[in-house]
Structure 1
Amino acid sequence: MFPSQESLKKNFIVPSPSADAAAPSGVGLYARFALAGAVCCGVTHGAMTPVDVVKTRIQLEPEVYNKGMIAGFRQVVQTQGAGALLTGFGPTAAGYFLQGAFKFGGYEFWKKKAIDYIGVEKASENRTAIYLGASAIAEFFADVALCPLEATRIRLVSQPTFANGLLGGFSRILKEEGVVKGFYSGFGPILFKQVPYTMAKFVVFELAAEKIYSTLPTPKDQLPPSTITSVNLGAGIIAGTAAAIISQPADTLLSKINKQKGAEGQSVSSRLVQMAGQLGVKGLFLGLGPRIVMVATLTAGQFAIYGDIKRVLGATGGVEIAK
């Protein structure tokens, strides 16, 4: 009387849960990558604002903040109150939200372009070069978005009375110094810092994650989400430590150049050379300890959050070239 299960299967198509929504592709896929990157960078950098405040103070006033990171926290709280540890939170969160969208979304985009151009097999053989190239291009555009907000953040941290927050600091710099001199005088140093930093961050993460996965008995596509998140955290710590060390000299110069205006007619390059000569090798690595703690922590958090958000959004369409 009733049709058999076999008959139903032949005559009707029962959609699976995964078929309810088509996997994103094209603009939709990269928009998800960008959103995941924006959230992971905005959240992690915002959360690390107190560490960044202390690190910046050590770089800008080494004669005052010369007893290490923990003592630096105490000094800031004792002299200015606990609220001072959140100085620059607004421009930090906003700036790195924008930067994260361009960085992570751009990295996935340019990596895919390279893979399409040379083919998956050749891309896998040259994956380190692809990781480096894609991350460098993505970071350039990310820094265009980040630079004005980073300049505002550093001014607020180095001169606490300069303005009351993001909007006040941003508008004052724009009014008094203009777009190029006020916001982009540190563009050279920020590229010098962020591009090598991001290249190291992505290539070390990709290779570290690949190595970790190779030691596991279960294939990556069969691992539970908790294990993948743990791998992202571990590889992120390794990547963040390497990236912090490589980019530390430029980070110090960036803090210095944004602390105050340059002399009339003095170029950015001459200021950088002058500052580097005055600081010396030891001075260029001021604040390295706090920065390793900060960068390793936030990098691990970024890759963990990024992976989890991608999974929630269904943004799993990236091409895998790791062996």
Structure 2
Amino acid sequence: MERRTCEELTPRYYGLCAIAGMFSAATTHLAITPLDVLKVNMQVHPIKYYSISSCFTTLMKEQGPSALWRGWTGKFFGYGAQGGCRFGLYEYFKGIYSNVLVDQDRNLVYLLSSASAEVFANVALCPFEAIKVKVQAQPCFAKGLFDGFPKLYASEGIQGFYRGLVPLLGRNIPFSMVMFSTFEHSVDLLYRNVVKRKKEDCSKVQQLGVTCLAGYAAGSVGSFISNPADNVVASLYNKKADSLVLAIRKIGLANLFTRSLPIRMLVVGPSITLQWFFYDTIKILGGLPTSGEVASDLRGDEAG
């Protein structure tokens, strides 16, 4: 039997999951900062940056290579905080809801757990996201977190840090619900219909392979669902509109779904895949099983 650093569903287990989520989210979001800079500028300045290639060439010409790394501190610390809450609290709430909703469909447990965790994750992320978006779309605003925080507080007060909280929740709660649910169902589907072996009978490499495939599916589906709110967040933080309703009207219903969608899927799909890979790698190093439940392992099937 493998030696474990902690047992499942214990405070140490949830702590390990939070640390793993923090590390995986921070590193992957840091790595894709250039793609995120392109995405934000295409959202905020759609006329000037009408395609990925035009945005890249224009930024390089006008601002130089350093422009592609604007806001990296906000991404590293902000999404690290979000990842710790998102993954750690998801496992925590899943344990709670699994005991409370014993006879309910497991999908309900996944949805409730991810939504509950994401509320806390976004409260932690919001101030960092406010600085990040401004730094990326307004080069003269600030260089990063350390000069951006006092500048935003001086100009807008505490409200400035949470101006986009509602659309941020509107973006990330549906994303998280779809992402975790898709991941769980994809893992179940892959083991039962593709691998056709029990998880515990597969090697660690095979388990991580399943994790990556399920993670990519989860990220791709989630990015499409959350794209409208992502456009609204960028618009509000850069004062392209003064309210949620005005932002939606100005962007247009069709553009809410299509604007920056290709690059968002390019950013989110690989990012979520790497997050799940790093997350499960850390769990394996701790002697824990990889994420995702298989139908044959569920309580209801065992009872049957």
* TM-score (ref. length: structure 2): 0.91
Does residue 298 (structure 1) correspond to residue 271 (structure 2)? The answer is yes
Instruction: Give the corresponding residue for 1:62.
Output: 46
Instruction: Give the corresponding residue for 2:163.
Output: 185
Instruction: Give the corresponding residue for 1:203.
Output: 181
Instruction: Give the corresponding residue for 2:281.
Output: 308
User: How big is the shift at 1:70?
Assistant: 3.0
Tell me the matched-pair count.
294
Measure, in 1, the Cα distance between the counterparts of 2:91 and 2:9: 12
* Contact 1:196 1:247 (C-alpha < 8 Å) held by counterparts: yes
User: How big is the shift at 1:59?
Assistant: 0.5
* TM-score (ref. length: structure 1): 0.86
Partner amino acid, structure 2, of 1:183: F
Partner amino acid, structure 2, of 1:212: L
| Within-5 A mapping of 1:1-323 | 18=3, 23=7, 26-66=10-50, 68-119=51-102, 122=103, 126-179=105-158, 181-215=159-193, 216-260=195-239, 271-284=243-256, 285-316=258-289, 320=293, 322-323=295-296
Partner amino acid, structure 2, of 1:236: G
Instruction: Give the corresponding residue for 2:299.
Output: none
Kindly provide the CA deviation profile for residues 246-295 of structure 1, in whole angstroms up to 9, marking residues without a partner as x.
Answer: 000100000000013876xxxxxxx1111111211232131000000111
Measure, in 1, the Cα distance between the counterparts of 2:185 and 2:49: 37
Q: 1:283 to 1:25 in 2, by over 3 A?
A: closer
Give SS of 2:126's match. helix
Instruction: Give the corresponding residue for 2:300.
Output: none
Instruction: Extract unaligned runs of 5+ from structure 2.
Output: 297-304
Partner amino acid, structure 2, of 1:254: V
Partner amino acid, structure 1, of 2:89: G
Measure, in 1, the Cα distance between the counterparts of 2:292 and 2:129: 33
Instruction: Extract unaligned runs of 5+ from structure 1.
Output: 1-15, 264-270
User: How big is the shift at 1:79?
Assistant: 1.4
* Contact 2:3 2:287 (C-alpha < 8 Å) held by counterparts: no
Measure, in 2, the Cα distance between the counterparts of 1:90 and 1:317: 30
Measure, in 1, the Cα distance between the counterparts of 2:137 and 2:6: 50
* Contact 1:33 1:315 (C-alpha < 8 Å) held by counterparts: no
Measure, in 1, the Cα distance between the counterparts of 2:196 and 2:113: 30
* Contact 1:208 1:235 (C-alpha < 8 Å) held by counterparts: yes
User: Identity, % of aligned pairs?
Assistant: 32
* Contact 2:89 2:117 (C-alpha < 8 Å) held by counterparts: yes
Give SS of 2:49's match. coil
Alpha-carbon RMSD across the aligned residues, in angstroms, is: 1.9
Measure, in 2, the Cα distance between the counterparts of 1:134 and 1:115: 9
* Contact 1:229 1:307 (C-alpha < 8 Å) held by counterparts: yes
Q: 1:253 to 1:51 in 2, by over 3 A?
A: same
* Contact 1:40 1:303 (C-alpha < 8 Å) held by counterparts: yes
Kindly provide the CA deviation profile for residues 9-31 of structure 1, in whole angstroms up to 9, marking residues without a partner as x.
Answer: xxxxxxx7738x66465211100
Larger radius of gyration: 1
Q: 1:238 to 1:319 in 2, by over 3 A?
A: closer
